[in-house]
Structure 1
Amino acid sequence: MATVGDQLLNPESGWQRVDDANKSIKYNGNWLSVTGDPNTYAGTAHYFTLSGATTNSIEFYFYGTKLRIIDMYWSNRVNNVTVELDGVISSYNPNNSTNKYRVIVFERLNLQYGFHKVKLTTTSTSNNFSLDAIDIDSNGEIVSGLNKFLISFEDKHYSVTNKYKDNAIPAMTSNTSPNGIADASSFYTTFYPWKAFDRIVDQNGWVTASGVLVGWLSYEFPSTVTITGYSIKSGTTPANRLPKNWTFEGWDGVKWIVLDSRVNQPNFAAEEFRFYGFKNKIAYKKYRINVTANQGAGDFLSIGDLGMYELDKYISSVDNSETSFLEHGMNKGMIIDLEDEFSERRSLVKDSEKIGLGKVFKQKIDTSKTPIKRASIT
């Protein structure tokens, strides 16, 4: 698995590459667009040369759990690029004498699956500030801030937010403590099922019996829980023992119901965390991951840590300012199920100016004639 500083000519498995010329990437200020360069991804790049402090910036929004910035390491690059990701500030330095193209200059993994805002700026006063490409989840999406919408009702505006709670499984100290039941199809010596639920980073977590390369790992809650997401984390020495193909299932008292299915997942790096979300409205008491293939190891199947998550839905009252629209607007294509229960109603109204540009579409629906159970914006 590549990391920061590595040259990566094309995206790895589980990733997709978005070119710098994508229309959803916003370049603020005066930028030059390069085309026809065989060294850059898709032959394009954006850059400008500094001659003092600048307010030029790059902004984009994406759905997913991970991000890589792809650019060059070169001796004529700026020595600081500030990354503001969901309000959290970090930075990277592309000024490097190795002089190579298509380098991972910045990486952020293990983000909560959802919508993320990114802004790139620089505090440098000389050299070139540039961008070649962006890597995100293979099932992620770069979106424009204008592909958003708010719900309007009686001259008020509302936003619906999905937010996962903390891991619903407590830090286990045995197969039955502090509560619930951890179980598995098999285990090796002291690598018990509960070792995958102890929230401790160790060598392997749960491991199947010797020579057993497939199997299941389950957790039974004290009462029914509606799980809509799960996470897998590798141990410190994962080798090729982690799952490759699996289903995530809920027990209805008679049979296992498949809730999510994954095939040909790339191997995990040491201590790597991955989150998988799915749709589910049924509360089950018992859930399991049923692995049908590991990553190629001939001795064991292992999972360092397995987490399970409930989803809260919030409906929030917001103003119709540009800031609120970008921060709290729902993305085009989002499905809103009007039969869902909302955990909380919050007010996010601020004193601000209304949006001056764009279009507003209104459609009145007589719900007495046309009952609405679900709505989507496309």
Structure 2
Amino acid sequence: MGYMTTQELMDLYGVSWFKMDEATANSLIDSKGSAIATITGTLSSVIGFDGQGKAKQFNGSSQYIRLGTRVLPLGKKSIRFKIKAPIGTTYRMLINNGDWGDGTKYGDCIYLDSSGQLHWVMVNGISSLANSFYFNSDIRVDDDKWHDILLTWDGTTGDGAVKMYIDDMYNPHKTTTSGGLQTTTQFYNLIIGTTPSNMGAYLFTGILDEIEIYNKDILLVPPPVSKILLSSGDKYYSAPAVKISDVNAIPIMTSNTAPSGVASASSINTTNFQPYLAFNQTNLTTNDAWISASGATNAWIEYRFPSPRAIARYKITCRSSGEGSAPKSWSFMASNDGVNWIVLDEKSNVTEWLASETREFIFINTQSYSHYRLHVKEVFTTGFVVIAKLEMYEFLGGYTLYDLPKTSESEFLKYGSDNIVPNEILDKLKSIKNSIATLGSGKIFEHTIDMSKRQLYKITLG
């Protein structure tokens, strides 16, 4: 199986595809099959995985989804979904058509345990607590971050035939062997967000997106690699994309000064809404946030690193309700002394936020500073500012023009550009030297522009 898009996989092996993009939060459409959903409680629509589309948010107290059929195929299957869940201390059901606590209620059970680990159980229906396979992740996935989950089984008892992928879709996080086959129809119709044997128990708290069901153990393959070089005369050049860390540079703060650095703000609403609550990397309740003083809609929140960092991206998360207090216009600023500030990024009159929505902002910055400040100048409707989460990410490299050997495959793949960014400022030049003389099995596509006959304003590659 070579590289295929989700749509291509669905066309070949799809059973059901719940995209969660419905305009009405309390409806669920099967984009592939014909499964009909009944929703209990009023779900919320929030921004989806990777900032794309919408997703369904479950409150953990009264919301779940019932399907009219088993949906999950017997035997070989793949189940893929995106999940974002806050840290919890109870069992939380995700996708089930069996009873994980009663082996006579055969079917598949996918859930989070009290330690935040993901479990997949195939109950065999022979006796109480008897399972064909039962395995769990080695990490917790309820860390208030998005995770991409893929569970596959080829339907056999072969070694390692059951696989669990977490975020890395090309290398299994864990494998196990099934102790038996699945030949009897599952006991229950599919339930999302609770257990089918006791609906309303073990309710899920968090967000689900893009639930995909297949009748095959799919094996995902990375997309083909394409690289772009620029040439002038007998010289080849490349300007690889800017690299920014995916890890939040600010530690999980437990106070304004612990474990390191200093969180501060222009004001606080009460002592319950300290600045560090925007840096504790959670958004569990409406009170899990920094809130400025009443009447202070022009306010700032700041984090001071123990040593200077070059920040080139930041994320703001709106609290779980009260979107009117989210920032509408602001400046993201930096300083090395807390007195003299430089504006790195500015936004004015942004669109209204959804509950728990996270937005990402990238800007050009290669300089290191110790102080970074979000200065909110305007909110939407309330008389104070609320920031549930503020995250910052370091610049790792880029803004460099590479002078490459003409026929070096290794340097072509290493330094070739994934895309050409218009108007990007390059402030470094590096010459790469080696003795590799031939290219491998890849293909080169070349286009020549006669610069003596026309003035060039823009190059578009597609």
Instruction: With the length of structure 1 as denominator, give the TM-score of the two structures.
Output: 0.51
2:278 to 190, 196, 209: 196
Give the partner amino acid of 1:188: N
2:294 to 205, 210, 223: 210
Q: Does 1:227 find its partner at 2:244?
A: no
Question: Runs ≥4 in structure 1, deviation > 6 angstroms?
Answer: 153-157, 315-321
1:277 is displaced (CA, Å) by 1.1
Please name the residue that 1:55 is paired with. Answer: none
Is residue 305 of structure 1 aligned with residue 389 of structure 2? yes
- Residue of structure 2 in register with 1:161 after alignment: 241
- Name the SS of the counterpart of 1:194 in structure 2: helix
**2:292–2:299 Cα contact (<8 Å) kept:** yes
Partner of 1:179: 260
Distance 2:81 2:322 in 1: 29
- How big is each residue's C-alpha offset from its partner over 1:284-305, in whole Å with a ceiling of 9 and x where there is no partner? 110101111112113x310000
Measured in 2, the distance between the counterparts of 1:5 and 1:312 equals 38
> Is the Cα contact below 8 Å between 2:51 and 2:359 reproduced in 1?
no
CA–CA distance in 1 between the matches of 2:228 and 2:306? 40
Residue type at the aligned position of 1:193: P
Higher alpha-carbon Rg: 2
In the TM superposition, residue 328 of structure 1 has moved relative to its aligned partner by 4.4
Q: How far is the alpha carbon of 1:324 from its aligned partner?
A: 6.7
Q: Is the 8 A contact 1:168 1:309 kept in 2?
A: yes
Secondary structure at the aligned position of 2:255 is classed as coil
Match of 1:246 among 297, 322, 330: 330
For 2:418, which of 317, 322, 329 is the aligned residue? 329
State the shift of 1:252 in Å: 4.1
1:209 Cα deviation (Å)? 1.9
Q: Determine if contact 1:181/1:219 at 8 Å carries over to the other structure.
A: yes
* Structure 1 residues 178 and 313: alpha-carbon distance in aligned structure 2, compared to 1, 3 A threshold: same
Could you list the runs of 5+ residues in structure 1 that have no partner in the other structure?
8-64, 70-88, 92-109, 112-122, 125-144, 364-375
Equivalent residue pairs, number: 235
Q: Cα 1:224–1:236, aligned 2, differ >3 Å: closer, same or farther? A: same
1:219 aligned counterpart, secondary structure: strand
Name the SS of the counterpart of 1:229 in structure 2.
strand
Corresponding residue number in structure 2 for 1:353: 442
The corresponding residue for 2:229 is 150
Q: How does 1:1-378 map to 2 (within 5 A)?
A: 4-6=21-23, 66-68=51-53, 149-151=228-230, 158=238, 160-165=240-245, 166-189=247-270, 190-204=272-286, 205-253=289-337, 254-298=339-383, 300-313=384-397, 328-331=417-420, 333=422, 335-339=424-428, 351-355=440-444, 357-360=445-448
Alpha carbons of structure 1 residues 187 and 294: separation in structure 2 relative to 1, 3 Å: same
Whether the aligned pair in 1 keeps the contact of 2:239 and 2:420 (CA below 8 Å) is no
User: Conserved in 2, the CA contact under 8 Å of 1:203 and 1:238?
Assistant: no
1:152 to 1:352, Cα distance in 2 relative to 1, 3 A: farther
Deviation sequence 1:106-156 (CA, Å, 0-9, x none): xxxx99xxxxxxxxxxx99xxxxxxxxxxxxxxxxxxxx99x842459777
Q: Which residue of 1 aligns with 2:132?
A: none
Q: Is the 8 A contact 2:278 2:388 kept in 1?
A: yes
Q: CA deviation at 1:341?
A: 9.0
Q: What's the CA shift string for 1:3-53, capped at 9, x where partnerless? A: 71228xxxxxxxxxxxxxxxxxxxxxxxxxxxxxxxxxxxxxxxxxxxxxx
Looking at structure 2, the residues matched to 66 and 361 of structure 1 have their Cα atoms a distance apart, in angstroms, of 38
More strand per residue: 1 or 2?
A: 1
Q: Percent identity?
A: 31
- On the 8 A contact 1:238/1:269 being kept in 2, the answer is no
Three-state SS of the structure 1 residue aligned to 2:242 is strand
Distance 2:290 2:429 in 1: 36
User: What is the CA distance between 1:202 and its match in structure 2?
Assistant: 2.4
Deviation at 1:257, TM superposition (A): 1.6
Alpha-carbon distance in 1 for matches of 2:378, 2:304 = 23
Cα gap change, 1:90 to 1:202, in 2 (>3 Å): closer
* Superposed CA offset, 1:234-290 (max 9, x none): 121233111101111112434222111111112221221111111223321101011
Structure 2 residue identity aligned to 1:267: E
Deviation at residue 216 of structure 1 after TM alignment: 0.4
SS in 2 for 1:240: helix
1:359 partner letter: H
Contact kept in structure 2, 1:215 and 1:290, CA below 8 Å: yes
Deviations 1:58-116 (A, max 9, x none): xxxxxxx75459xxxxxxxxxxxxxxxxxxx879xxxxxxxxxxxxxxxxxx99xxxxx
Find the counterpart in structure 2 of residue 17 from structure 1.
Answer: none
Q: Name the TM-score, length of structure 2 as normaliser.
A: 0.42
RMSD: 4.5
